[in-house]
Structure 1
Amino acid sequence: MKSHEEKQEIQVNALSSLNPKMKAVFAAVAVIALGASGAAYYFYSRYATLMEEPQRIAQEDTSKLLERVGRLIVLPVGEEPTIATVSDPEKLKDQAFFANAQIGFKVLIYANAKKAILYDPSGDKIVEVAPVNIGNP
């Protein structure tokens, strides 16, 4: 029977006797494994952050949206808008305000200022502005 030292020596010799192509394959597999591990860690940590702080993330998204829209039109001061995202423009097509709406457009509703803004985030443009009449009929 072979001793433990002889087995280790045989294993070391087996790895060193691999041809250069096999060494390259092992190196490529190792690099891919490290890259996949790094990507998995990044996305998991991002997911964990989103789960821990959804309110803060939502506030940051709102601030960024208001900053972008504020570069295109003067926004009412001292009022936080209600923000909605268009998910089904077909249901809204009967309303003139939403005639050009597409999936993903943002609607900013300022109740006190009685103003609604339809914004296209991908095109970074104001699509429609209309007065809002919120109240009891």
Structure 2
Amino acid sequence: MSADTPSRKRDHLKISLERDIEFEAKTTWLEYVELVHKALPELDFDEISTETTFLGRRFGMPLIMEAMTGGVPEAAEINGNLAEAAERFSIPMGVGSQRAALSDSSLEYTFKVARERGPNAFLIANLSGVQLVQDGV
């Protein structure tokens, strides 16, 4: 792991928490969308389901919390909290790149906390091609 990696990962967290990172000029164009209200009285709200199936697993909705964080001590609490939400609402979750943990085993807990606090959650992780070649993973 590059000496920069923990610092860079810490910067990602700090920037997200402390800076105004919203686009000032770019938009999603959703401000130009007007939804025409058409009530659906023939539907029973209790019968509407957002559930979906992915890779043979059933989830509460077609959403994934993907490639969040890990690799610095500050990330452990974030991953743990997100894993609890993933478990509670049956939403798949991905932790950040495993590169840091492969290079420094003392950082493994920043990823493992997701499994500890979301024991039944569907978890995925990413790994760069560089690590596949270097570490023979």
Normalised to the residue count of structure 2, the TM-score between the two structures is 0.21
Larger Rg, first or second structure (1 or 2): 1
Question: Which structure: greater strand fraction?
Answer: 1
Q: Which one has more relative contact order, counting CA pairs under 8 Å at least 6 apart? A: 2
